[in-house]
């Protein structure tokens, strides 16, 4: 298996589950949010404030399109599926696994969205974002797992089991 990409809503666990999954697989780990921060020389929320949503999404897609890795778990931002360029690159790199969980569970996990760096339009709620994005996650996923697990390790185990089915 060349790489594994995790997609899903902000707070679904792509970064926290991803690094544990990489350890279990003996893979490297890359979080594209960190690549964007390094490239732009600023924290994600500042990048988002400076560029605005559309240019942020273009930048994110370009960073993902430039990924060239092997045996790596890739944790992109929750917005990665909103640009075909980035989403297609993830699929080229290997299986794409959707960490799916209900919006209510995400609401409980996420703190202040205003400072988290989420591409929310003014007045848009997390539920609006969830309803808009869910079809994109489903569209690009090769595998879907129930990420509404009490323990990170349980989600990692489900991810490993799903990957074994390929
Ligand atoms: N069972 C669980 N599985 C995963 N994350 C959990 C769980 N319980 C609580 N959390 C918390 O939920 C948050 C998940 O955030 P994380 O940054 O991993 O999400 P993400 O999918 O990478 O989001 P983003 O799209 O913003 O990068 C963390 O703060 C984590 O500690
Ligand atoms: O889901 C989102 O809209 C985002 C999630 C973050 O990981 C970042 O990629 C960015 O701040 C946008
Ligand atoms: Mg993340």
CA distance 45 to 66: 22
The rounded Å distance from CA 110 to ligand 3 centre is 12
Closest ligand relative to 18 C-alpha: 1
Run means of pLDDT, 10 residues per run, the chain, 166 residues: 93 97 98 98 94 96 98 98 98 98 93 73 90 98 97 98 95
Q: Model ipTM?
A: 0.96
The rounded Å distance from CA 12 to ligand 2 centre is 11
* Tokens (6 digits) for 100: 């799916």
Task: For residue 113, give the DSSP letter.
Answer: H
Confidence (pLDDT) at 1 = 61
CA distance 96 to 162: 11
- Judged by phi (left if over 0) then psi (alpha if -120 to 50, else beta), residue 83 lies in beta
Give me the count of residues in the chain. Answer: 166
Confidence (pLDDT) at 29 = 98
Closest ligand relative to 118 C-alpha: 2
Confidence (pLDDT) at 123 = 85
- Work out how many domains the chain is built from and give that number: 1
Confidence (pLDDT) at 33 = 97
H-helix or E-strand spanning residue 90:
helix 84-93
The rounded Å distance from CA 151 to ligand 2 centre is 23
CATH number at residue 119: 3.40.50.300
- Say if residues 147 and 8 touch (Cβ distance below 8 Å): yes
Question: Given CA atoms 149, 151, 155, 160 in this order, what sign does their dihedral have?
Answer: negative
Confidence (pLDDT) at 119 = 78
In terms of Cβ atoms closer than 10 Å to its own Cβ (0-12, 13-18, 19+), residue 33 is buried
CA distance 32 to 132: 22
What 3-state DSSP class applies to 109? helix
Closest residue by Cα to atom 11, ligand 2, is 117
What residue numbers bound the domain in which 76 lies? 3-164
Task: For residue 121, give the DSSP letter.
Answer: P
């Amino acid at each position: 298996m060349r790489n594994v990409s995790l997609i899903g809503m902000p707070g679904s666990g792509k970064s926290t589950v991803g690094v544990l999954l990489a350890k279990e697989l003996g893979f490297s780990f890359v979080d594209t949010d960190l690549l964007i921060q390094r490239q732009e020389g600023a924290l994600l929320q500042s990048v988002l404030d400076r560029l605005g949503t559309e240019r942020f999404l273009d930048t994110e897609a370009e960073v993902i399109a430039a990924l060239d890795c092997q045996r790596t778990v890739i944790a992109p931002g929750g917005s990665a599926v909103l640009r075909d360029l980035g989403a297609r690159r993830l699929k080229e790199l290997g299986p794409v696994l959707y960490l799916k969980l209900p919006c209510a569970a995400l609401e409980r996990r996420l703190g202040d969205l205003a400072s988290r760096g989420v591409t929310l339009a003014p007045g848009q709620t997390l539920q609006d974002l969830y309803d808009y994005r869910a079809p994109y996650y489903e569209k690009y996923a090769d595998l879907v797992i129930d990420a509404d697990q009490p323990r990170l390790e349980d989600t990692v185990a489900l991810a490993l089991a799903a990957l074994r089915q390929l």
